Structure 1
Amino acid sequence: MKVTSLKNRINKRVELDKFKSDFTDIGSFIKRKRKELNVTQDEISNGICSISYLSKIENNQIVPNDFYVKEIMDRLDIEDDVYSKSIKDKEYIDSTLKAFFYMDDEVMINIYDEVKDINHNVVINLCKLGYTVYFNLVDEDQYVMMLEHVVNNMSNLEVKVYLYFSALYFIQNEKYKVALELILLNSKIRANNDLLDSLFNELSYYVKQRFLIKNSSSDDYHNAMTIFNRYHNVKRIMILALHKALFLTMENPKKAMRLLNTIKVKELSSEIKDLFYIIKAETLYYLNNYKDASFYLKNISRNSEYYLKKMILLLKICKAEEDFETIENIKDIVREYKPKKSELRNKIHYHFLTQKDKQNQKEYLRDIAIPFSIKIDDYDYLSIYTNEVMDICVENSRYKEAISYYNKYQKELNKVRRILY
């Protein structure tokens, strides 16, 4: 996807919306059809509903009862399949959004099973895209690219859904700058939907934290939490709180611990429990409580996606306690471990920690760790690695070189600032 191309399409759409109605909503469709037939609201509503009720339908001020819509459609001589398709499409998109919001695997699978054989339908392809990003099928990019070319044929809600699913797709492919641009595009499209608004706020919080944009991300966190609480979405409340604790572990471990103590661990799925254990252990590590940190790490098995992160944290604990025998055991285990693509950042961090001396560390940071962090938009580790390499330069009185690393880091930050402002 070329983000510039999509931005142009969205901007053109926004400009057009200033001058003409969006007929993709059922009310706007009825209004357009009535005017085409040159009939009055009185003629259409007579015997079905009041004129004021029809007026509210046409202006999309209410969600009309299906019975009234069908009767009005019949009077306008609109074929049943046009109406049925419109209603069914709306049901699919609403059901997909709701399943996404409540993280309901079963409903997502059922929707996909219903629509997987339906082709040449924008809404159905949106649902298929939702399925691929929900289950993190990162190689399935056909719907992202295909749907980009038909955004002008979508309703405002469908465009926002497309932007959300596409942003998730690019996050899963570690292209966070692209995701940030899509999240910002969302604000240009008018469509009121609490569930989608909260999902965008949640995603915006994660992405901004990734780019170390702390101030504005706090508003996203608050807005997402407000809607999650309103709809009693316990799963997302706890997951978002966990991620906030994760972002706080280094800068404010005491605050992170207070937040972790509010999490009801028994209500977490096994995968999310592992995330809780690793965050709890890391927070305890930064509080210098190595014994309890090690205790929580025991809960994470070799099959967990957090296993490599567990071994890295154990390595740090052993270094702090000068347990050199266990350090060698950890090295033997990690040497045999084959990381998944999503674990590469942890693998690189592990190799940085196990370099034999400062000179090797510096070379590894310069040639591998820093370039990789830039490639995957990982500004958290980029900040850590930049500070480490600058410290090594300063220790060796290489001040100009230290400044060059600082300038390179600032250059990356400026790329994000240009997107934001």
Structure 2
Amino acid sequence: MKIGERIRFYRLQQNKTQEELASGIISVSYLSKIENNQCLPSVEVLTLLCSRLNISLHDGEESNIHERLKDWYKSIINRDKDFAAKEYEELKGIINQKDSTSLLYFMMFELRFHLLNRNIHSAVTQIERLQEYTTILSGDLLYYFLKFQALCAYLQNQFTDAYEKYKKAEGLLASNVFEKWEEADLYYSIALTSSRLWKVSICLRYTNQALGIYQAIYDFKRSAECQVLLGISYQRSGEWKKAEESLLLTSKIADSLNDINLKGMVHHNLGYLFSLQEKSDLAIEHYTKSIEYRNHGDDTRKLHTIFSLVMEYYKVNDFDKALTWVHLAFTILESLDQKLTEYEYHFKTYYYLLNRCESEEFENFMKDEVIPYFAEHNMYEYLATYAEILATYYEKAYRYKLSSQYFRVSNDALRNIYKLV
């Protein structure tokens, strides 16, 4: 890090204004030029500024710390939560506060650590802190910041924003040197976000790029995750045989690795595949297996499978079993530290439908909360479904003008899906 960038970094870290730092030493305008590396001041001026900030004139970089930080980041990418948490506590105690480069990398990877643990509040706070240093972020640090902001947006269902930031990060790949696993992780992230936006052709392209790298470096687990994503894309384009082949291949890898999370993912997507083919018995069988594997894992993924199971039971008019799963979902949602708005809306909607409580309260809930939420987040699949449900409600009540309005909303959402495909 250049001396001007270091001075700005520590001034911001210590919450000092330019006026406070420059007072009695140099003018504010001259300090601004120093911080922006537009001029090279005398050693005397630099010494006085560093003294006021209580830092040394030269950055005390330690290469072993940098290597350890990169290893910590890799463990986060590999989702090794136990090791990542242990390293986090140790690094907090040994990071040199006067080594600006190490400190900035630590702050950056700390953001990714919060995202690993789905601690969105801490991640957002960290992003706000790092925003203060954007003028000195360059190279790989700027790449990481864009990539991690994208993930934070993704985890908040802001998929369009996530996609745009991931693409900006991709633009920095060529001008920086990264290991192949980092490149593959970015491609997979773009593919995953594209999938949520129903950009099927883009998802296929980036998934295959990530898969090629993971296969070359013998990362079988991440290769399997790519196969799942391929399966989802093939499902959406109606290529049932290809979808099943990808998922069955993933199932074999999951068995060989004895990876519980991967098994849960495979069975969920096999359930979805059979649901699309109107094979509800098989869909329910695989969704149920998926939940068994997800009982001790990520609650969000478990809720996603429970919701799929509820929809399948609703489709075959088995309302009692569907309600049993809805009540379990409410119990899980109440136990969580964070609010999962999407799933609260999903399960509350089906609670109304299963109990046949289609009243004015249901109408207002759908009209004022559910449909605006999924429209805002460009979640067209759910927007189409819920708009059609509300349109049908109005149709039964002989309120044809409103019924027509929401059938149009549903059709527009479906057109958006087909356009993205």
Superposition pairs for residues 59-138 of structure 1, below 5 Å?
85=61, 87-88=63-64, 90-117=66-93, 118=95, 119=97, 121-138=103-120
User: Aligned partner of 2:318: which letter?
Assistant: D
Deviations 1:344-387, CA, capped at 9 Å, x for gaps: 42342233344238787765442222112134443432243345
Q: CA 1:154/1:243 → structure 2, altered by over 3 Å: closer, same or farther?
A: same
Equivalent position to 2:282, from 266, 288, 292: 292
Pair 1:402–1:139, CA change in 2 (3 A) = closer
- In the aligned structure 1, how far is the partner of 2:406 from the partner of 2:114? 44
- 3-state DSSP class of the match of 2:120? coil
Distance 2:186 2:348 in 1: 35
Offset at 1:172? 2.2
CA distance in 2, matches of 1:321, 1:412: 28
Distance 1:142 1:246, change over 3 A: same
Asked if 2 retains the 8 angstrom alpha-carbon contact of 1:116 and 1:128, the reply is no
Q: In structure 1, how many angstroms separate the alpha carbons of the residues matched to 2:414 and 2:326? A: 34
In structure 1, give the amino acid aligned to 2:333. K
CA contact (8 A) 2:326 2:347 kept: no
Q: Does 198-207 or 140-149 show the bigger shift?
A: 140-149
Give the CA deviation at 1:313.
3.5
Unaligned runs of 5+ in 1: 1-80
Change (3 A) 1:409 1:152: same
Secondary structure in 1 aligned to 2:371?
helix
**Among candidates 340, 343, 346, match of residue 346 of structure 1:** 343
Alignment partner of 1:258 out of 230, 241, 245: 245
Q: What's the counterpart of residue 129 of structure 2?
A: 146
Are residues 1:177 and 2:160 paired?
yes
Q: Paired residue for 1:162, among 145, 159, 163?
A: 145
Tell me by how many angstroms 1:101 deviates. Answer: 4.2
2:346 counterpart letter in structure 1: H
Q: Deviations over 1:34-77 (max 9, x none)?
A: xxxxxxxxxxxxxxxxxxxxxxxxxxxxxxxxxxxxxxxxxxxx
The corresponding residue for 1:381 is 382
Task: Sort the Cα spacing of 1:147 and 1:268 in 2 relative to 1 into closer, same or farther, 3 A.
Answer: farther
| Residue type at the aligned position of 1:405 | V
State how far apart, in whole Å, the 1-side matches of 2:210 and 2:408 are. Answer: 39
Q: Contact 1:101 / 1:195 at 8 angstroms: preserved in 2?
A: no
Alignment match, 1:4: none
For residues 110 and 335 of structure 1, what CA distance do their matches in structure 2 show?
A: 33
Distance 1:158 1:214, change over 3 A: same
CA distance in 2, matches of 1:283, 1:229: 25
Amino acid at match of 2:348: H
Task: Give 1:23's aligned residue.
Answer: none
Matched letter for residue 104 of structure 1: D
Structure 2 CA distance for partners of 1:332 and 1:142, relative to 1, 3 Å: closer
Provide the C-alpha distance between the structure 2 equivalents of 1:88 and 1:143, rounded to a whole number of angstroms. Answer: 25
Identify the residue that residue 313 of structure 2 maps to in structure 1. Answer: 318
After superposition, give the CA deviation of every residue in 1:187-237 in whole Å (9 maximum; x if it has no partner): 443213233322221111122222222222322212211222222222222
**1:255 CA displacement:** 3.5
Where does residue 409 of structure 2 map in the other structure? 405
2:405 counterpart letter in structure 1: E
Displacement of 1:159 after TM fit? 1.4
Deviation digits for residues 370-410 of structure 1 (CA, Å, limit 9, x no counterpart): 11213444343224334555677789654862476369859
Residues in 2 aligned to 1:368 and 1:288: alpha-carbon distance in whole angstroms: 30
- Name the counterpart of 2:24: none
Change (3 A) 1:312 1:326: same
- Report whether the alignment pairs 1:200 with 2:186: yes
Contact 2:143–2:169 (Cα < 8 Å) also in 1: yes
Identity %: 12
Does the CA contact (< 8 Å) of 1:163 and 1:183 recur in 2?
yes
From 176, 180, 185, the equivalent of 1:191 is 176
Residues 134, 308 of structure 1: CA spacing in aligned structure 2 closer, same or farther, 3 A cutoff? closer
2:227 matched to which residue of 1?
241
State the shift of 1:260 in Å. 0.9
- The answer for the alignment partner of 2:368 in structure 1 is 367
8 A contact 1:211–1:378 mirrored in 2: yes
SS in 1 for 2:383: helix
| CA distance in 1: counterparts of 2:261 and 2:388, whole angstroms | 33
> Which residue of 2 is the match for residue 77 of structure 1?
none
RMSD: 3.8
Aligned residues: 336
Q: Cα distance, 1:262 vs. partner? A: 0.5
Call closer, same or farther: CA 1:381–1:251 in 2, change over 3 Å: farther
Structure having greater relative contact order (Cα 8 Å, sep ≥ 6): 1
Shift of 1:125: 1.2
Deviations 1:319-341 (A, max 9, x none): 44443543454455556553545
Q: Distance in 2 between matches of 1:334 and 1:136?
A: 19
Extract unaligned runs of 5+ from structure 2: 1-56
TM-score norm. by structure 2 comes to 0.66
- Is contact 2:384–2:414 with CA below 8 Å preserved after alignment? no
Q: Is the 8 A contact 2:203 2:233 kept in 1?
A: no
* Separation in 1, partners of 2:196, 2:412: 18
SS at the partner of 2:198?
coil
